Amino acid sequence: MDNIVTIRQLQKNFGSTNALNSINLTLEKGKVYGLLGPNASGKTTLLKILAGLISNYSGEILIDGLKPSTKTKSIVAYLPDRSDLHSWMTVRETIEYYQDFFEDFDVQKAKKTMEFMDLNDNDVVEKLSKGMKARLKLALTLARDAKLYLLDEPFDGIDIKTREKLIETIINSQRDESCMLISTHHVNYVEYLLEALVFLSKGHILLKKNVEQLKEENNKSIVEMYMEVFANA
Amino acid sequence: MKFKDNMPIYLQIIDHVKLKIATGEYKRAEKLESVRDMAQKLRVNHNTIAKTYQFLEKDGIIFSKKGVGSFITESEEMISRIREERIFFKISTFVNDLRVLGYSDKKMIEELEKFLKGEIQNG
């Protein structure tokens, strides 16, 4: 039972539009996965389903043996691609809010990460820059002691220094008991962070493979592989 | 450390550790960073570092003590072998490159001597 996530024959349509099709995927404990694909490939839909935010799909999903529901929300930490922060709160109030909301929230870890991210207790959310908001969101998500972390485009629209801080924080948060799934189209930023890649295109999984194995077999960088895989997709 | 992006990272880290042993930066029987610390330092996935350490251990370049950590080999012979391997690799690359340029062995030695005396300069 080293699988945290098992997905069988997942299908999701929005009206007549097919968002996900015949998705079969297992994710193991202790690993960091990259969910790669161009815009509109279904990455966000897949993450939302795993986060328990979309329930009308067909197929079977098990997260630590349970169907996505309010129950799994307590073991799944989800970082949405849009901000879900309350703009009028301070950093301290936001931490307290999360602490009330999630039983597995580790305040000490949150505070430590905030410090590393150069966020101050009294900073007001709406006055934070885009990069600082991205730092706050990630720090809050990773301060939970979850079994599954879902990060949707954590590197979008941020400066280099923030990116480095986010990457370091993600590496420090890697644990044997939990699994991370990170969606991104910034392949080059994350390749050392990831152990395995899932390439998604138009709602289909094109490829799932260990990063090192992929390089060993092809002598190519992940960016080159990405271009190749999606050239014909 | 800067990685080449078309080569498995574990192979590059193995090479990096061997280079540090060859140059003496890592001393005999010295304690190596933990998997976690090394991952953080190189900003690489923990499992990649764990795999790297397994390979190094299998080759006898490092050894681990349960609950204590990983250490550079205690074998002087192994350390000399790592040094010699690297020197051999550097010399053979040098010789092959000059042979491709059409240098005879005699000419190669002459050029090397000139270089060492500071008689050849770039450009």
* Confidence (pLDDT) at A1: 54
Angle, helices B46-58 vs B35-42, to 10°: value is 120
Q: Is A227 on the interface with B (CB under 8 A)?
A: no
In this prediction, residue A63 carries a pLDDT of 97
Determine contact: A223 vs chain B, CB below 8 A. yes
Tell me, what's the pLDDT at A233? Answer: 65
Instruction: Output the pLDDT for position A29.
Output: 95
Residue type, B92: S
Specify the CATH number of the domain B9-74. 1.10.10.10
CA torsion sign, A179 to B40 to B44 to A193?
positive
State pLDDT tens for residues B21-74: 999 999 999 999 999 999 999 999 999 999 999 999 999 999 999 999 999 999
Q: Which of B9, B39, B42 sits opposite A212 (nearest CB)?
A: B9
B63-105 pLDDT tens trace: 999 999 999 999 999 999 999 999 999 999 999 999 999 999 9
Residue in chain B closest to A30 (alpha carbons) equals B47
Query: What residues 133-192 of chain A have any CB closer than 8 A to a CB of chain B?
Result: 167-168, 171-172, 174, 188, 191-192
First to last CA, chain A: 34
* Residue A193, helix vs strand vs coil: coil
**A168: nearest CB among B9, B40, B48:** B40
The confidence score (pLDDT) of residue B119 equals 86
Among the partner residues A188, A192, A223, nearest to B9 by beta-carbon distance: A192
The reply to whether ipTM tops 0.85 is no
A190 Cβ partners below 8 Å, 6+ apart?
A34, A155, A167, A182, A184
Instruction: Say if residue B121's pLDDT is above 80.
Output: no
Q: Maximum distance among all alpha carbons in chain A?
A: 51
For residue B5, the model assigns a pLDDT of 84
Mark residue A42 as left, alpha or beta (left: phi above 0; alpha: psi -120 to 50; beta: remaining): left
Residues of chain A predicted below pLDDT 70: 1, 233
H helix runs in A69-210, sequence order: 70-73, 91-101, 107-116, 130-142, 160-173, 187-190
Handedness of CA B15, B19, B22, B25 (dihedral sign): negative
Structure tokens at B93: 């690359």
Confidence of residue B123 (pLDDT cuts 50, 70, 90): low
Contact list, A171 vs chain B (CB under 8 Å): 39-40, 43-46
Q: What are the structural domains, with CATH classification, of chain A?
A: 3-231 (3.40.50.300)
Task: Choose from A175, A194, A213, A215 for mutation: most chain B CBs within 10 A.
Answer: A215
What backbone torsions phi and psi does residue A113 show, to the nearest 5 degrees?
-65, -40
Which residue from B75, B83, B79, B71 is spatially nearest to B32, judged by alpha carbons?
B71
DSSP chain B: -PPPTTS-HHHHHHHHHHHHHHHTSSPTTPBPPPHHHHHHHHT--HHHHHHHHHHHHHTTSEEEETTTEEEE---HHHHHHHHHHHHHHHHHHHHHHHHHTT--HHHHHHHHHHHHTT-----
Q: For residue A17, give how far its alpha carbon lies from the nearest alpha carbon of chain B (Å).
A: 37
> Are A226 and A189 spatial neighbours (Cβ–Cβ below 8 Å)?
no
Cβ burial of A13 (10 Å; 0-12, 13-18, 19+) is: middle
pLDDT at position A189, please? 84
* Structure-derived torsion over alpha carbons of residues A224, A228, A229, A232, reported in degrees to the nearest 10: 160
pLDDT tens string A179-220: 999 999 888 888 889 999 999 999 999 989 999 998 889 888
The dihedral over CA atoms of A213, B50, B3, A208, expressed in degrees to the nearest 10, equals 30
Could you say which of A30, A192, A219 has the minimum Cβ distance to residue B44? A192
Tokens of B31: 């304690």
Whether B51 has its CB under 8 Å from any CB of chain A: the answer is yes
Residues 6 or more apart in contact with residue A141 via CB below 8 angstroms: A77, A78, A79, A149, A151
Taking CB atoms and an 8 Å cut-off, how many pairs form between chains A and B? 51
